[in-house]
Amino acid sequence: MAQKRRGSKRGRGHSPWREVAWAGGILLLIITVLALLAVFPRPRPPAPKSSSPPVEKPQKPLGRPLFEEPPPPERPIKKPPPIRVKLPEISIVIDDMGYNNGLDQAFIDLPYPLTFSFLPYGPHTQELARLAKAKGHEILLHLPMESSSGTPPGPGALYVYMDGQEIARILQEDLNRVPGVMGVNNHMGSRFTANPVKMRLLLLEIKRRGLIFLDSRTTAETVGYRLARELGIPSAERRVFLDHTVNKKAIRHELKRLIVLARSEGKAVAIGHPHKETLEVLKKELPRLKKKARLVPLSQVLN
């Protein structure tokens, strides 16, 4: 009975030959796949496009670049025809007129188109302004304005505490005291001309009366010339003080500087004062300027 039971277990087991056959079949399948891959290789995916150009490997220098062609011959440079350039224009304004009758009149008698600016309360302002006007000179009101130093600017002055109505009233009173007036420039005024609110009020009154404006530039902080141009007022700014230092050598130096500026900018304005030294330099130097610049009235150099 025991022997019969053991024989039945062997009959139900797997044959070793069958396992060998399965292994051989799998091996044959793998060999077939590998052979097919060798004959028909798998296509490679396209390389991603680079956003930057390929970098070339540096080559050894050969003394001159490769593939360089000689440039074409340069065309000869033609000399431009000579250009006739008009002389630069300068204008000289003499401030502080009206206080020294003899010296002021000597300036007025000079045979040149100087422009004169009169202080409103000068004892000789009215008679000298009429004389200057009769001789063909342009006349300005030298309007006193508040300074930063606290130095009194004199009668008829404008101060930053004033409102628009008072500014207009004082301006008109001062204008009435200068016959033949065609414009205004500031006497002192380093504080007033730096105040954009007050200067706008003043310049609007100047524009309403059809006058011109010359910014004497007694401070680098002035807004006068800029505002005048914004408001469409014919205007200019002083570029040189002829006699800030009152000696002949310094005055001659400033006169030369005026010419240099005029050549550079086309025109330039200088302010002088009724000093004896200034008068003597102008008498001597103005005749020599005819070949370097044209001396013109202020109205011809306005912007």
- For the stretch 193-230, pLDDT in tens is 999 999 999 999 999 999 999 999 999 999 999 999 99
Please report which residue ranges of the chain form alpha helices under DSSP H. Answer: 2-12, 16-39, 101-108, 125-134, 164-176, 196-208, 224-230, 248-265, 276-285
Give the residue from 249, 301, 244, 289 showing the smallest Cα distance to 271: 244
89-301 CATH, one of 3.90.79.10, 2.60.120.620, 3.90.1310.10, 3.20.20.370: 3.20.20.370
State the pLDDT at residue 195.
99
- Residue 125 pLDDT greater than 70, yes or no: yes
pTM: 0.72
pLDDT tens across 52-109, in order?
A: 444 444 444 333 333 333 333 433 434 444 444 689 999 999 999 999 999 999 999 9
Q: Report CA dihedral (59, 63, 69, 72) to the nearest 10 degrees.
A: 140
Q: How confident is the model over 133-143, as pLDDT tens digits?
A: 999 999 999 99
Domain boundaries, the chain: 89-301
- How far apart are alpha carbons 275 and 76 in whole angstroms? 57
Nearest to 280, CA basis, from 103, 58, 162, 88? 103
The secondary structure element, H or E, covering residue 183 is strand 181-188
Closest alpha carbon to 141 in 102, 185, 81, 78? 185
